[in-house]
Amino acid sequence: MPASMDRLYSDRSTSLLRTLYRVLIVCYGIAIMGFVWLTKDLTFSTLAKDPVFAAYSISVVIYVLGRFVLALFYRPAPDVGHRPSLSVIIPAFNEEEGILGTIQSCLDADYPSELVEIIAVNDGSTDGTWKKIQHAKVLSPRLHAIDMGKNYGKRTAMAEGIRRARGEILCFVDSDSYVSFDALKAIVAPFADARVGAVVGHAEVRNRMFNWVTKMQQVRYYAAFRIIKGTESLLSGTVTCASGCCAAYRTSLVQPLLKAWEFQTFLGRPATFGDDRALTNRILAQGRVVYQSTARAETNAPTTLGVFFRQQLRWKKSWLRESTYVVRYFWRKNPVAAVFTYASIVFPLFAPWVVLHAVLGRLVGGNPGGLWFYLVGTYAMAMLYSLYYAFRRVDGLWYHGMTFVGLYMSVLVFQTYWGIATMRDTRWGTRASTVEHAALDQDNVTSLPSSPGAPVPELVEAPT
């Protein structure tokens, strides 16, 4: 197991200082909530003058605090020794830097070797990815290596992996992600419950110390997984997105959907990205999707603001596309989860108008008091969000959550409408992958199946 990950998760230490620090954070958080409570009169007083704005503000506060409170009750499913056969699928496109590390982390993961197969699928990479996979195959014959011959897109690579998989459970690991030693055992644990159709692991940013862009994303990831997926999971297993970096599905549920999912179209265009959300959505319509905090993975996040924005836009588009499907069946789900989910669809549509109204309206309308109140209120919410991270992880990165909220309020909220406007542009944005669906030409596929029972030697040093 990589040492860095070992240290990363050793935050269970209960030294006095750490306890003191946490008590301080909790007091701070309570003080901020007290502040929000004291200013409620200010918000209610604007209800008459500015009902949409006030109603929005109050709902958002209730939404955020509600999520926080519910997240406190989340518990991961215990490992009761459930060991179904497992196929780990790693689709890879131009990932020569990290692919060996990813494969290594999967091979290293603790799971009965006769029950697990690792499938790496090369999606027509133009760099040395296939060479690296072949290299891994030589060193570890247990690996199943597949080369699709040309670039078809991530979905096709995943689909090909699924078609060749033999496990009862399919586990997807992105080629820039790394799973922890106990992740595979943990991610299959919830499947002991027959109602569970998919499980998403807990992902953090691997290169989180690189710069402020990755630091900010680390805080974002943490809250998104622990709080959003945590509460969704708690509410009858209604996680709306089993993120691609580490997610598992029941094979029997995926197979009937495979074709429709692989060749999904939206507004007459092939749905190239948002493969994870699309698959989750279709499983969730018929079963439960839960979050397993003990199935830990790390993923490399964009290191520049430009790439980050393009990635966010892509996610936003996937979210928009899948939301049109979510709204049709979610009312049948857990009512609280339904309220949260519908709210989470409505809020982003309102948000840009509210921000513009709050800032411009007050500046032009000569109501600086209202503007200050809006700013300090937003700041209070951002602080609660960041303090949550500060409480959970003592690494000093918490305040980058403020950067994220700042970027969110100033840029990302406006992406919703940009995403709607450019919905038909299905370019990936962060890589030069194909944007058209094409049926896989099996004649050009190279498949190097695993040799069961082969010893598992140590691969080369994984790059960091």
Per-position b or e across 250-269, b if 16+ CB within 10 A of its CB: bbebbeebeeebbebebeee
Stretch that binds another protein, among 34-42, 70-78, 183-191, 358-366 (CB under 8 A): 34-42
Minimum CB separation of residue 333 from another protein in Å reads 37
Contact with another protein (CB under 8 A): which of 336, 345, 402, 440?
Answer: 402
Which amino acid makes up residue 273? Answer: F
Among 90-98, 251-259, 353-361, 368-376, the segment contacting another protein (CB under 8 A): 368-376
Residue 249: beta bridge partners? 170, 198
Does the protein bind another protein through residue 365 (CB under 8 A)?
no
Which residue blocks in 11-165 are alpha helix, DSSP H?
A: 16-38, 40-49, 51-71, 99-108, 129-139, 154-164
Q: Quote the CA–CA distance of 184 and 454 in Å, as a whole number.
A: 20
Tokens 């790390």 belong to 298
- By CB under 8 A, name the one of 112, 256, 335, 369 that touches another protein: 369
Characterise 111 by phi-psi region: left (phi > 0), alpha (psi -120 to 50), beta (else).
beta
Binding residue for another protein, selected from 63, 263, 399, 417, defined by CB under 8 A:
399
Rounded CA separation 203/206 (Å) = 9
**376 lines the binding site for another protein (CB under 8 A):** yes
Judged by beta carbon, residue 283 or residue 358, the one nearer another protein is 358
Task: Identify the DSSP state of 77.
Answer: P
**Per rule CB under 8 A, is residue 373 in the interface with another protein?**
yes
Of the pair 349, 394, the CB lying nearest another protein is at 394
Name the token pair of 236.
Answer: 């009858």
Q: Which stretch binds another protein (CB under 8 A): 42-50, 287-295, 339-347, 404-412?
A: 42-50
Q: Toward another protein, which CB reaches closer, 327 or 371?
A: 371
Q: Quick one: which of 219, 182, 197, 249 has its CA closest to 404?
A: 219
Does position 45 interact with another protein (CB under 8 A)? The reply is yes
Distance of alpha carbon 332 from alpha carbon 328, whole angstroms:
9
d(CA 411, CA 429): 17
Asked if 2 touches another protein (CB under 8 A), the answer is yes
Considering only residues 206-245, where is the footprint of another protein by CB under 8 A? Answer: 209
Q: With binding defined as CB under 8 A, does residue 42 bind another protein?
A: yes
CB neighbours (10 Å) of residue 80?
7
Among 15, 16, 41, 364, binds another protein (CB under 8 A): 41
Residues that bind another protein (CB under 8 A): 2-4, 21, 24-25, 28, 32, 35, 38-39, 41-42, 45, 48-49, 209, 369, 372-373, 375-376, 379-380, 383, 390, 394-399, 402, 461-462, 464
